[in-house]
Amino acid sequence: PGFERARDTPDPRLATEDEMKSVTQLFVLVAMLASASAASSIISAGTGRSAYTTTDTTAAVTAAMKVSTDINAIKTLLGATTVDFSAIRTSYDANLKTLADADRTGEPIWDAFKAHFGDSSTFITEYFYLANTGTAAGFKHLESRKEMSEKTLVDMLVMHGVISLLYRGQAGSDKALWDQGAAMFIGADGNQNATTYGRAQKRGGDFGTLDATSGEANANTAIIAALNAGKTAANAAAMLVQYNLVVAQYKVIYAQATLRYANKMDMALAKNLVFYDYQAEGQAFWRVLVPWVKEANALSAALLDDMFNTVKIPHAANNYNYCAAKTALENALPSVTAADWGTYAEVTGTGSWTGTTIVCTTPAVPTGLAGIITNAGTYTPTSHVGASLSYSGAVRATQGGITDLTSAATHERLYNLFVNTGLKGIADVDRTGEPDFDKFAAYFGSKTWMSDQFAKTTGSAPSWTATLGAPSARAEIQSKTVQDNIAVMAVLSNLYKASTEDDATLRHSHWDNGAATYMGTTGNLNTVYDRAEKRGGNFGTIQAGSNPAHCVVNKIIVDALKMGQGKAKSAMVTQLNIIREQIKVIYAQSTLRYAAIVAQDLAKDRSYDEHLGEGMIFYHVIAPWVSETDAAGHKLVNDFFHITSGFPPENFNYWSYCAVKRVLENFLGADLRAQLGTLESVDGNRGTIDSWCNQNTVAPPTALPMITTLAGSYTPASDVGSSMAFSDAVRAVLTVLTDTPATPATTIDTTYETTGIKGAADMDRSGEPVWDLYKSSFLGTTSGTWVSDLVKIATTGTAAGFTNGAARAEVIQKSIMDGAAVQLILSDLHNGHQGTTAAHRVFWDRGAAKYLGSVVNGRSSSLYSRANARGRNFGTLDASSNEAKVNHAVIAALTAGSKATTVAARRAEEQKIHTQIKVLYSQAILRYAWIIDRNISAGEEYIEHHAEGFAFWRVIAPLVAPDANDATYIEGIYNPARTPIGSDHYCIIKSVLDKQLLPAADMGTLEDSEDEDCTGKTVPADAAAYLRSTAAVSGAGLASTWAFVSVVSFALTMIMM
């Protein structure tokens, strides 16, 4: 790529074949007319192009023109399928070496070049031989050697030949030498592609400086005009003026050539293509210009020397090489005007990328040589690191194109930014052999995992349809991929290369570039350094007494970078290990912070997509390391943040934060764990989240390797400790619940929310049959938050029937421990039986974990515990385990369902669990009807038990009410705002529940009720009329009118279909 040679089709910027024939005919005619005496001849590159008229036709002119023929012969050899470098050298030695090595001492330009290239008068041949031999560092790539060889001859050799002839011609007013210089500049017929004239034509095409009519480069027109004017000049002084004009145009031509290949390096690196030949071409062109630039601006020359140093691997970001070269050349060559330069139009970016798209910022040439300043310290590189400093600018430019308003057009624009700023190229560098890269590539299953993931957020041509995450999640993934994931790998790669490099200069360059990528440009924004500062603020790990303030991690990393700078490999290895460990701290903090934020999102039942995406992409920075040391812990964290897992994240009692914290603390180990710090309170947490985690009573449970109970064990496929933590969340609420809660009980409201129960209970589960049924039944409204509605009425404590503290406490407890739990369990099991994939299994496992609960206080806050209590009341404990038969049946169904290989089989097990839940709460409803009857008969206080019965009834009312009349009756007699009448509640409710035809053996018999005679005790024919006639119902209480529909009588049957 980039090799410029003779083509089968003519270059439109050069003369056509017909034009060449015309020139040949012209020379023949001129020669015939001048046969016996000296006469003029005309040299031109074609019809309509500028022409030079010689003063004679001596052999010297012919020899000067022959240089282009000899060079073209070598170009042909260079373009062969198999390049014969031996034949090339032979041809060079025979035909061109004498010209290259000619002693031109005393000629100012020659002396300047000779001095620059080691005071050697054979610098042209020496460089050509290096390229020809191909054994020296920087001269080993075949395509590079070809480019170096060609440009040395066509450009360096020809330029010095032309300028020497013109200089000597003007110095002695020797028109013959001037003619020879013009002849060498234009070249022999058909060989302009081996001359300066041909090079200028190509650059004129690239920069838009071709004449619209003749197609000739402005530089060529100007040079030939100066040649003609110099030839006819009256004296040496006048010729010198024209000579200087020619030299000025040479600077234009090779400034354009140098700039072109700076851009080609940017674009090759941006697309992760081979860059060697472009760097080599740029170097060969730059050599033609370097002494002039160095004389005017030594810093610019040093920058370009480094850019085109073929021994080094170049860096590129945000079009740095193009912008830096442009600024350097403009600074050093002020005589080159904007008109001379033209506008570079041959930008080879992606999409609608043009020369005008490249916006070179000010300052455009960051080198870092004056020091990279941060609040944590100043790092002063000894190498040019401008391209690595510009990484942060590339991040900033790309992040500027990120938007939640996605469309094919915005996706395409963003992806093109990702490519054209160089970030994709940096992401896709094959770093095989570097330990960190190999580990990450193996983990993600691709060497281009970072750009692969970015591409999923934008899609690709022609549709540009994203395939990863919601828009808000995609935006965060895009932003953190470029600022964090790619940057971290680039930093570690540079530092690793340094620590394994024997050459001291290259070693220091790699290390300096790693430091520059980490720190970035002024302000250190859009960098890993910036990320560390943000996390230090979040976790309270700002360096004590630091002024200006900076975090501990950055202080350690900057110190390590400075300690490793310029040192031996072993010292660099030590410092690299320190830096890698600190990077782990940064992204452990980042992962942990978003675990907490997602927990808050879930607690408030708000969208979590954005924060889940952020957490996922931050975790990706450290995931392969975590996976290597703790496979189970890694799976827990990865599952929580996996935005394409097929199941939503879950959090109760800060489990997502506390469990992730436990994994990351184990990953970091004792030495680094303390550096995590303490996460600031976010979004109204009770105290700090860390203090919540550190209470032993709410340690994050784990479901692995199995959940064990006396009624049997359940083995989940993954750690669903988040669901086990539901019972811990319930317990946390009950801990702050008293029999006389404050009015309003804001502490309970807060705990109910922050532990995640409220958010889960309020989640819209439209389309799930049970949820839809409940929503259509409760409160005579279409409220989807009926559990929280009831909790709020009870915590507020002002509605009729809800002013008694003990009664309110019972409604709160049963609504949360039972009402919310049943909804969530049935939802999980419903989603779990929709298929048999791994994602469906997670839902099923979650339902099991919520039912069984954690082992804290013997599962006292779980449905498992509730079932045992009712089993004791109804004589339905298993004889062997002394645990409820309900629990045995549920665990058996859960286990069978987990192993089911068909949807039908798993659905059958779900039906069994539904039945057992109906048994459990039918027992609870009956028990409190019995107790209320006893209270009323004995003249005892009944309000607390009345509220308990009401709360239990609400747990399963839509599932068990046979018809609207029955439902109206039970709702009415349990309504806390209504005074119950009589002592037949047990018998009448039993008559309703008996219609479910639940197995008698499962239901058992309530203790002390064996002799109760319920004959003829049934629901009145018109329950509503009965309730109106027996007691008033306060309008301030709970609404009693239920929107039951006729199909409720088969609620369970319909739900299971």
More reliable by pLDDT, 307 or 23: 307
Chain-centre distance for alpha carbon 724? 32
Span 473-477, mean pLDDT? 95
Please determine, for residue 597, whether its predicted confidence score (pLDDT) is greater than 90: yes
Residues in the chain: 1057
Both tokens of 615, joined, read: 């957490």
Span 352-375, mean pLDDT? 71
- DSSP H helical ranges for 621-698: 623-629, 631-641, 655-673, 689-693
Both tokens of 72, joined, read: 């073209």
- The structure tokens 């004129």 sit at 204
Question: Can you tell me the distance from the alpha carbon of 1010 to that of 669, in angstroms, rounded to the nearest whole number?
Answer: 62
Instruction: Return the amino acid letter for 871.
Output: G
Using H for helix, E for strand and C for coil, what is the string for 217-261? EHHHHHHHHHHHHHHCCCCHHHHHHHHHHHHHHHHHHHHHHHHHH
Beta strands in 151-303 (DSSP E): none
Per-residue pLDDT, 329 = 94
More reliable by pLDDT, 143 or 9: 143
Q: Per residue in 642-692, pLDDT tens? A: 888 788 899 998 888 888 999 999 999 998 999 999 898 765 444 467 776
- DSSP H helical ranges for 520-568: 528-539, 552-564
Question: Can you tell me the distance from the alpha carbon of 555 to that of 916, in angstroms, rounded to the nearest whole number?
Answer: 60
Please, are residues 790 and 752 in contact by the beta-carbon 8 Å criterion?
no
Q: Per residue in 810-839, pLDDT tens? A: 999 999 999 999 999 999 999 999 999 999
Both tokens of 460, joined, read: 């690709």
* Percent of all residues in the chain with a pLDDT value above 70, rounded to a whole number: 90
Chain-centre distance for alpha carbon 85? 47
Q: Is 2 left (phi over 0), alpha (psi -120 to 50) or beta?
A: left
Of 837, 843, 752, which is closest to residue 790 (Cα–Cα)?
Answer: 752
Largest separation between any pair of C-alpha atoms in the chain: 148
Give CA separation, 227 vs 74, 169, 606, in Å. 28, 11, 78
Question: Can you tell me the distance from the alpha carbon of 1001 to that of 884, in angstroms, rounded to the nearest whole number?
Answer: 12
Which residues 6+ apart lie within 8 Å of 106 measured at CB? none
Please determine, for residue 4, whether its predicted confidence score (pLDDT) is greater than 90: no
Please determine, for residue 696, whether its predicted confidence score (pLDDT) is greater than 60: no
Instruction: Return the amino acid letter for 1024.
Output: A
Which residues 6+ apart lie within 8 Å of 152 measured at CB? 124, 127, 128, 131, 284, 287
Per-residue pLDDT, 357 = 64
Both tokens of 205, joined, read: 């095409």
- Beta bridge partners, 707, equal 714
Both tokens of 300, joined, read: 């610019």
Per-residue pLDDT, 1028 = 86
First to last CA, the chain: 65
Q: Per residue in 171-190, pLDDT tens? A: 988 999 999 999 999 999 88
Chain-centre distance for alpha carbon 503? 34
Backbone angles phi, psi at 53, to 5 degrees: -105, 115
Question: Can you tell me the distance from the alpha carbon of 495 to that of 487, in angstroms, rounded to the nearest whole number?
Answer: 12
Residue 346 — very low, low, confident or very high, per pLDDT cuts 50/70/90? Answer: low
Q: Per residue in 263-304, pLDDT tens? A: 999 999 998 889 999 999 999 999 999 999 999 999 999 999
Please determine, for residue 903, whether its predicted confidence score (pLDDT) is greater than 80: yes
- DSSP H helical ranges for 481-568: 486-500, 504-519, 528-539, 552-564
Please determine, for residue 781, whether its predicted confidence score (pLDDT) is greater than 80: no
Backbone angles phi, psi at 610, to 5 degrees: -60, -50
Span 218-234, mean pLDDT? 95
Please, are residues 721 and 659 in contact by the beta-carbon 8 Å criterion?
yes
Give burial (CB, 10 Å; 0-12/13-18/19+) of 488: buried
Span 192-217, mean pLDDT? 95
Per-residue pLDDT, 6 = 32
Please determine, for residue 361, whether its predicted confidence score (pLDDT) is greater than 90: no
Which residues 6+ apart lie within 8 Å of 375 measured at CB? 533, 546, 548, 549, 550, 554
- DSSP H helical ranges for 900-1043: 903-938, 943-960, 964-974, 985-994, 1000-1003, 1023-1030
Please determine, for residue 793, whether its predicted confidence score (pLDDT) is greater than 90: yes
Question: Can you tell me the distance from the alpha carbon of 493 to that of 391, in angstroms, rounded to the nearest whole number?
Answer: 14
The pairing of strands 712-714 and 707-709 is antiparallel
Weakest mean pLDDT among 162-176, 355-369, 891-905: 355-369
User: Which DSSP letter does residue 605 get?
Assistant: T
Of 170, 348, 176, which is closest to residue 260 (Cα–Cα)?
Answer: 348
User: Which DSSP letter does residue 877 get?
Assistant: B
The helix or strand, by DSSP H or E, that contains position 379, with its residue range, turns out to be strand 377-379
Please determine, for residue 960, whether its predicted confidence score (pLDDT) is greater than 80: no
Question: Can you tell me the distance from the alpha carbon of 109 to that of 290, in angstroms, rounded to the nearest whole number?
Answer: 11
Residue 780 — very low, low, confident or very high, per pLDDT cuts 50/70/90? Answer: low
Please, are residues 516 and 389 in contact by the beta-carbon 8 Å criterion?
yes
Beta strands in 66-116 (DSSP E): none
Please, are residues 426 and 395 in contact by the beta-carbon 8 Å criterion?
no
Q: Per residue in 436-469, pLDDT tens? A: 999 999 999 999 999 999 999 999 999 999 999 8
The whole-chain average pLDDT of the chain stands at 89
Span 877-893, mean pLDDT? 97
For residue 687, the tally of other CB atoms under 10 A from its CB is: 8
Per-residue pLDDT, 1034 = 38
Please, are residues 760 and 602 in contact by the beta-carbon 8 Å criterion?
yes
Backbone angles phi, psi at 7, to 5 degrees: -115, 160
Please determine, for residue 205, whether its predicted confidence score (pLDDT) is greater than 90: yes
- Beta bridge partners, 374, equal 377
Per-residue pLDDT, 35 = 36
Span 885-911, mean pLDDT? 97
Both tokens of 391, joined, read: 């990484």
Both tokens of 298, joined, read: 């030594």
Span 921-938, mean pLDDT? 95
